[in-house]
Amino acid sequence: MELKIYPDPILAKRCADVEIGDVSVLPILEEMSKKLYEWEGAGLAAPQIGVLKKLVVIDIRAEPATLYKMINPKIIWRSEELIDSKEGCLSLPKLRATVVRHEKVRVEYFDENFQKKTIEGEGFLSCCLQHEIDHLSGKLYIDHLSRLKRGRFLSKFRKLQKEESEEKAFEDEE
């Protein structure tokens, strides 16, 4: 299971619904949960590991500690209040940008026992839910930026990627 890094085309694809009761997704959710902690993320969506199914894991590292394993999550309500969210993404490493999100959302999903659940997120949890569910539609947080800000962001991102690959090549020569 490897992390897909932008501009991998799979990150722009829409995911398919999981058939309720399809236990073949359970090992994927389990592995995603392990990778979430290994990669030190707050959330991970299946397309980020190359799987085009509606699966998300989230742990915002709040008290009490809660790991959400979500099958077919969907936002069913959004507050009118908006907040600025400074976001990063495992698939766009080392950079962050501020995007506007709904302060609160309500999300329906199925847990790993295929039980229907509802969660209401506020603040950081709300932003994380919106960010990860966006991934399932092939949308990245940078897609919420203006054209100008997105262009600047991607320019910085490409520069960082180039520097990183040059450093790696230099290390490989030694």
Q: Which residues have a catalytic role annotated?
A: 132
Count of CB atoms within 10 A of residue 114's CB?
16
The whole-angstrom distance between residue 97's C-alpha and the CA centroid of its chain comes to 14
The whole-angstrom distance between residue 156's C-alpha and the CA centroid of its chain comes to 20
> Quick check: 59 and 70 in contact, CB under 8 A?
no
Q: Whole-angstrom Cα distance, residue 146 to residue 109?
A: 31
Longest alpha-carbon distance in the chain: 56
Residues 66/67/73/78 CA torsion (nearest 10 deg)? 30
Helix (H) or strand (E) holding 32: helix 26-38
The strand ranges marked E within 66-173 are: 68-78, 82-89, 92-102, 104-110, 116-122
